[in-house]
Amino acid sequence: MFKILCFGSLNLDYVYQVEHLVAPAETLSAVSRAVFPGGKGLNQAVAAARAGACVYQAGAVGADGALLLETLASAGVRTEYVRQHELPTGHAIIEVDRHGENAILLYGGANQSLERSEIDETLQHFAKGDLLLVQNETNELEYLIRSAVQHGLKVALNVSPFAPELIKLPLELCSYLLVNEVEGAALSGLRQDEDGEKLITALAERYPHSLVILTLGARGSWCKAQGQSAVFCRSCKVKAVDTTAAGDTYTGYILTALMEGQGLEEAMQLASCAAALAVTRQGAAPSIPHRAEVTARLRERP
């Protein structure tokens, strides 16, 4: 049985419902506020666990991180490799407008305090056949990627949030690269509104050693490996309430399905349906569906 090690961010999400996203120099009153467990690392770990994978979370929280550990444990994610550091737990300020669109401000906190000795100790418990899943919300990304490959792990990098220094990482070592249209455009040099097939083709040519996974929200998703045809999956049509964890849900589900040995089209359909269910609910981790619910919905889908 393969294991997924999600070495990623753990955040407290402060979610504010607003009429519209705040503009520069504008002061806006929020309709409501709620606090949820989140962080791309936590969200993707929960998604993979609810998809049926054996998942371990690694990273760091502050003294105020108990809610995050409880959330992971309740989802079936192992937490023995999450350390407590002196810095406060990372958090996010999330605006969600009446159409379900969001804007996010991140504070890294303990997520940015990972130590190489902690990485080394954690990776000793994983081996060939396992998967390391990372995002751009923690420090020591290059060390994580290179060390995981040396241990025989496959590496999946969710290139989010995008920053120019990500291009300097050893992306050729990653088995999977997961991007949205903004990140895909930045990596390929094309426009964000470029045709999805052109975008995925350019990415696969630039990163020939990776399976590239491109999510376009309501416009569906694309996957392509160099030398193979691009595969497209339509999105499921739903009424969005909160899109915060859509991409993380897709990531956890598609990686689990691919590690299980499912075909690309089947894995994409599973992930797309899971993401669609997630956006119909508020919050990040709490909105992620379980595998049985996703499977049942797929049976109903034409």
| Helix (H) or strand (E) run with residue 26 in it | none
What is the chain's Cα-based Rg? Answer: 18
What pairing do the DSSP bridges indicate for beta strands 102-107 and 90-96? antiparallel
Q: Rounded distance, CA 43 to CA 165, Å?
A: 24
Cβ atoms within 10 Å, residue 233: 22
Token pair of 147, please? 């060390």
- Bridge partners (DSSP) of residue 221 are 215, 233
Contacts of 124 (CB under 8 A, 6+ apart): 151
Nearest to 183 by CA among 231, 135, 145, 146: 135
Classified as helix, coil or strand, 55 is: strand
Q: Cα separations (Å) of 233 from 36, 77, 88, 199? A: 30, 29, 40, 15
What is the rounded distance in angstroms from the CA atom of residue 102 to the CA atom of residue 107?
A: 17
CB 144 within 8 A of CB 120: no
Say whether 248 is catalytic: yes
Cα(218)–Cα(199) distance, rounded to whole angstroms? Answer: 16
Given the residues 13, 130, 242, 248, the one annotated as active site: 248
Q: Of 59, 12, 88, whose CA–CA distance to 284 is shortest?
A: 12
Cβ contact 185:192 at 8 Å: yes
Please give the single-letter amino acid code of residue 172.
E
Active site residues: 248
